[in-house]
């Protein structure tokens, strides 16, 4: 990382730590520096060096950057810049001071603590909001981009300590003229968070993001993903054939209204599923707020800090980031 620090320092980015590492990319926290002592915390995403010369990966990375550049929404991590240095492409992105949903779930498991039902539904509703925006996005000529994220899962959902919920990583999304796509030939996505059409290598549309969003909701409620198998094939088989339980029998606090939302999101026949993220978002918001008051970003932020043991800088106790 020392060589990277030196190179990026010349571009006015001070790399401070590694945030996440995946199969093809690495994300760093950095300070963007400017005139007059200007400093802004950002995230910098790079293609790993061994993949940076492969045209397919270059094309997809560039396509992701072009796609998300105009996705400006409170529930989507924003991208500021695409650059290239030393043969490697990089993206400068919004830094979310918080944790991803997988880390949040792991913390609950470590504490043997169930997540509050209303906050589980609230987090899911915010992701549905971001998906609604992405699914409806059009280009400058008014053409629907046909965005399908195809990788909805806890690792790609961020929660900030102020309670903001944001969807990230459109790296395997498909969209009009922008993204490399081999639907019908390969399985795109993580096996335990696929829609049945993804698991079956069928062509997808926006409804393919609804099923994994339902999986995320049930994992938040139960603390586990019921579709996760012993291996990749087992997970795909469960996505396609595992009997869908009544979730209220697994957690009694799930009332009939929420049960109905879960069941509709997990319909394997997509014509029987929610037909849009907007429909699912609306159903969740009616469930949350029909009595006049429900969870807010502020409530989620307070709860997140409590569970993660976060302390603001300058206050007594250990601080985490």
177 in active site: no
| pTM given for the model | 0.91
How many angstroms separate the CA atoms of 120 and 195, rounded?
20
Strand order in the sheet with 88-94: 13-21, 25-33, 39-47, 88-94, 79-85
| Segment holding 81, helix H or strand E | strand 79-85
Q: Is the pLDDT of residue 173 over 50?
A: yes
How many angstroms separate the CA atoms of 210 and 264, rounded?
9
pLDDT, position 98: 94
pLDDT in tens, 75-130: 999 999 888 887 788 889 999 999 999 999 999 999 999 999 999 999 999 999 99
Q: Is the pLDDT of residue 320 over 60?
A: no
In sequence order, which residues have a C-beta less than 8 Å from that of residue 109 and are 6 or more positions away?
223
Q: Is the pLDDT of residue 131 over 70?
A: yes
Over pLDDT 70: what percentage of the chain?
90
Averaged pLDDT of the chain: 89
Do the first three CATH levels of 2-94 and 98-304 match, i.e. the same topology?
A: no
pLDDT, position 319: 42
pLDDT (mean) for 44-50: 82
In order of 64, 77, 113, 157, 242, the CA distances from 69 in angstroms are: 8, 10, 38, 18, 38
Q: Is the pLDDT of residue 51 over 90?
A: no
pLDDT in tens, 275-288: 999 999 999 999 99
Select the more confidently predicted residue: 314 or 126: 126
Listing DSSP states for 98-159 in one string gives EEEHHHHHHHHHHHT-PPPHHHHHHHHHHHHHHHHHHHT-B-TTS-B---B----SGGGEEE
pLDDT, position 133: 97
pLDDT band at 8 (very low <50, low <70, confident <90, very high): low
Nearest to 177 by CA among 204, 146, 155: 146
**Cβ atoms within 10 Å, residue 103:** 15
pLDDT, position 321: 39
| Segment holding 42, helix H or strand E | strand 39-47
Q: What is the topology classification, in CATH, of domain 98-304?
A: Transferase(Phosphotransferase); domain 1 (1.10.510)
Q: Angle at CA 110, nearest 5°, toward 107 and 113?
A: 80
pLDDT (mean) for 292-312: 92
| CATH dotted code for 2-94 | 3.30.200.20
Nearest to 171 by CA among 81, 76, 57, 95: 57
Catalytic site residue from 70, 118, 139, 151: 151
The domain segmentation of the chain, as residue ranges, is 2-94, 98-304
């Amino acid at each position: 990382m020392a060589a990277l620090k030196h190179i990026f320092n010349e571009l006015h980015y001070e790399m401070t730590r590694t945030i996440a590492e995946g199969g093809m990319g690495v994300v760093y926290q950095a300070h963007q520096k400017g005139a007059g002592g200007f400093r802004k915390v950002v995230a910098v995403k790079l293609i790993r060096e061994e993949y940076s010369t492969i045209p397919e990966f270059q094309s997809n990375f560039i396509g992701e950057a072009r796609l998300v550049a105009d996705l400006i929404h409170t529930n989507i991590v924003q991208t500021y810049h695409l650059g290239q240095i030393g043969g490697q492409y990089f993206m400068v992105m919004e830094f979310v001071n918080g944790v991803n949903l997988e880390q949040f779930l792991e913390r609950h498991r470590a504490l043997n603590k169930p997540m509050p039902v209303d906050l589980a539904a609230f987090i899911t509703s915010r992701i549905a909001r971001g998906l609604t925006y992405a699914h409806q996005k059009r280009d400058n000529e008014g053409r629907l981009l046909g965005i399908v994220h195809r990788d909805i899962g806890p690792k790609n959902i961020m929660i900030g300590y102020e309670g903001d919920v944001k969807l990230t990583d459109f790296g395997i999304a498909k969209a009009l003229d922008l993204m490399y796509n081999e639907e019908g030939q390969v399985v795109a996505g993580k096996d335990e968070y696929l829609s049945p059409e993804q698991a079956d290598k069928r062509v997808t549309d926006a409804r393919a993001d609804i099923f994994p969003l339902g999986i995320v909701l049930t994992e938040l409620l139960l603390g586990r993903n019921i579709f996760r198998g012993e291996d990749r094939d087992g997970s795909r088989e469960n996505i396609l054939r595992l009997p869908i339980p009544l979730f209220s029998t697994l957690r009694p606090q799930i009332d009939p209204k929420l049960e109905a939302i879960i069941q509709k999101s997990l319909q394997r026949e997509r014509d029987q599923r929610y037909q849009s993220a907007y429909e699912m978002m609306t159903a969740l918001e009616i469930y949350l707020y029909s009595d006049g008051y429900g969870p807010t970003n502020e409530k989620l932020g307070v709860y997140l800090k409590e569970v993660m043991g976060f302390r603001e800088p300058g206050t007594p106790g250990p601080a985490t980031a």
